[in-house]
Amino acid sequence: KQEVTQIPAALSVPEGENLVLNCSFTDSAIYNLQWFRQDPGKGLTSLLLIQSSQREQTSGRLNASLDKSSGRSTLYIAASQPGDSATYLCAVKGQAGTALIFGKGTTLSVSS
């Protein structure tokens, strides 16, 4: 059974810092991995989708990497801003027909 773990559960940084959020999964047989952002009381916003054949994806200040063999992904946020404060969720898609499995998220707070 696939399990997704995100470390740390919470993170506080001053504005301008570069930071890394970690995601690990137990079953390396995945189709893709997706990073989401969730603001308090809101739905999920997709940030990056990495297919199993890819090693990384970039969007603006965000870079996500995938090491399928070791069951790990990282989300790198460059030059953090207060507007980046949110909960970041990692989710993996296993074999066809299985559900998207989520980690419990990392809650990020960026202070000005």
> Which residues of this chain interact with other proteins, rule CB under 8 A?
31-32, 34, 36, 41-46, 49, 89, 91, 93, 96-97, 99-100, 102-105
Cα separation of 85 and 90, whole Å? 16
Tokens of 51: 């297919």
Q: Are 61 and 54 in contact (CB under 8 A)?
A: no
Q: Please give the backbone phi and psi of residue 12, each rounded to the nearest 5 degrees, phi first.
A: -120, 130
- State the minimum distance, in angstroms, from the CB of residue 99 to other proteins: 4
Q: How many residues appear in the chain?
A: 112
User: 80 or 93: whose CB is closer to other proteins?
Assistant: 93
Q: Residue 9 or residue 78: which is nearer to other proteins going by CB?
A: 9
For the bound state, the minimum distance from the C-beta of residue 86 to other proteins, rounded and expressed in Å, comes to 14
